[in-house]
Amino acid sequence: MTSMLAKIKAPYNSFGKFWSYIISEMSFNFIWPVVQTYSALWLVKYANYSHANVGLAFSMMSLMGLISGPFIGYIGDKVLEKKYLLYITAILLVLMGPFMEWIILPVHGNAYMMSIIMGLVIGLVMNGGTGVNEQYEQRMSFVNNFQYSWVRSGVTIIGFIAPLICGYVLSVVPRMFFWSLTISGLIYMVMAVFFIKHDSSNLAVLHDKKHDKVNVKGILKSMASKPFIFFVIFLLGTVPLSQIADQQVSNYFQSYFNTAHGTMLFSYATTIQQVIAFLGMLIIPIIIKKVGYRNGLVIMSMIMAVRLLIFAFARNWVLVGLGQILAGFYIPFWFVCPMGYIFSVFNKNEFATIQSLSTGAAVQISQTIFSWDYRCWLRSTRLSLNLPDHWGDLLSICCLWRVLLGNGAS
């Protein structure tokens, strides 16, 4: 056994330089299935929020991601391998349980204001923290010489474990639902403080000697460049509607059931989705080596388009579940291709800032707008993704737009 481990290339036989990153990914990203997939259902069913207030809360989450993203990216480009942002993220994640239990739930008088406050706070932790983790791990993948997608597979590992945990907690002890984030936050904090390490002798790979260090003038110049503009347009036509569908699909699926049985079935579909995504994360380096990051983005956009069309025309829970499972095929491309594209095309010294302004800020702007108009997700008295009036036509146009822009994102 020892001789076998000795043959494994470092850092894959190192806990601090590889495995601790996976555990930190798992512990932090537990927030996504809790918030993105189940919180809408929890807020409506147990906290007596209206669908409009839920939509407002999600808009505020996106807005906070938009506001905080550029600052987080700029600071990340300044501190590079230092873990200050990881520590702040860990503290905020630990405080999620007390925040929901002692601040949000006791206040019943002004649900509108509470939706705004809750959205802004959770948005800072979830969207801001995701940027912190992604940017740090992408850098460390070059410093420590590990496959970034293999570390990011921690997201999919927790993705097929978390729905089962969330489904159980939501059905049995719903009041403890958000305290699960405090527990995962403590695990994340331990990893960030004591275990996550890097190869200090290889930090030069993070610097681009052809360009100046990160500064506002250089960032503005990059934002005015053709590659950045095309990349942002591509993202605007690709991600927001898919993420909004993720927010509402649990309610859409549950609308076909009158009991908690629907919640458990949905958790099974989400678990299958994450198993597919996990397998995809293991093989995505081989695919990217063949097609490149740019073509990977095109493949991702086509899968997203098919999934949204399934949701738009679904008439039963089986098709909704199929659409939920289909997300497992594009998740590996979404996790890997945008970050790799940015690192390979733009100034490495501005990597985190460009990432925040593109996959972060640009996406959050459009998502904030779409999420707020929650009425487009309602039909008659029953929640549905079958969009009324001309929204279905607009959705089809957006799906075609994704594919066409995929061929121009260069």
Q: What is the DSSP string of 235-261?
A: HHTTSHHHHHHHHHHHHHHHTT-SSTH
Tokens of 330: 């594009």
pLDDT score, position 395:
45
> Could you tell me how many residues make up the chain?
410
Query: Which pLDDT belongs to residue 173?
Result: 85
CATH topology of domain 11-198+211-406: Growth Hormone; Chain: A; (1.20.1250)
The pLDDT assigned to 372 comes to 53
Between CA 33 and CA 38 the distance in angstroms is: 6
What is the predicted pLDDT for the residue at 45? 80
pLDDT in tens, the chain (410 residues): 455 455 556 778 899 999 999 999 999 999 988 888 788 888 888 777 888 888 888 888 878 888 888 899 999 999 989 999 999 999 999 999 999 888 887 665 577 888 889 999 999 999 899 999 999 999 999 899 999 999 988 887 887 788 778 888 888 888 888 999 999 999 999 999 999 999 888 888 887 777 777 888 888 998 999 989 889 888 887 787 777 777 777 777 777 777 667 777 887 888 788 889 889 999 999 999 999 999 999 899 889 888 888 887 878 888 888 888 999 999 899 989 998 899 888 888 898 999 888 887 766 676 666 655 543 443 333 344 444 333 444 444 444 444 444 444 44
Of 374, 375, 363, the residue nearest 63 (C-alpha): 363
**b/e burial code for range 154-164 (CB count within 10 A of at least 16 → b):** bbbbbbbebbe
- Provide the b/e sequence for 107-121 (b: ≥16 CB within 10 Å): eeeebeebbbbbbbb
Per-state percent for the chain, helix, strand, coil, to nearest 5: 80, 0, 20
pLDDT, residue 367, reads 64
- Please tell me whether residue 207 adopts helix, strand or coil conformation: coil
Q: Tell me, what's the pLDDT at 369? A: 64
How many DSSP H helices and E strands does the chain contain? 19, 2
Instruction: Give the contacts of 184 (CB within 8 A, at least 6 positions apart).
Output: 27, 28, 30, 31, 93
| pTM of this prediction exceeds 0.85 | no
Closest CA to 189 of 361, 366, 27: 27
In our burial notation (b when 16+ CB lie closer than 10 A, e otherwise), range 243-275 reads bbbbbbbbbbbbbbeeeeebbbbbbbbbbbbbb
Burial level of 8, CB count in 10 A (0-12/13-18/19+)?
exposed
Contact 79, 135 (CB under 8 A): no
What pLDDT does residue 393 have? 41
Do the Cβ atoms of 323 and 249 come closer than 8 Å?
Answer: yes
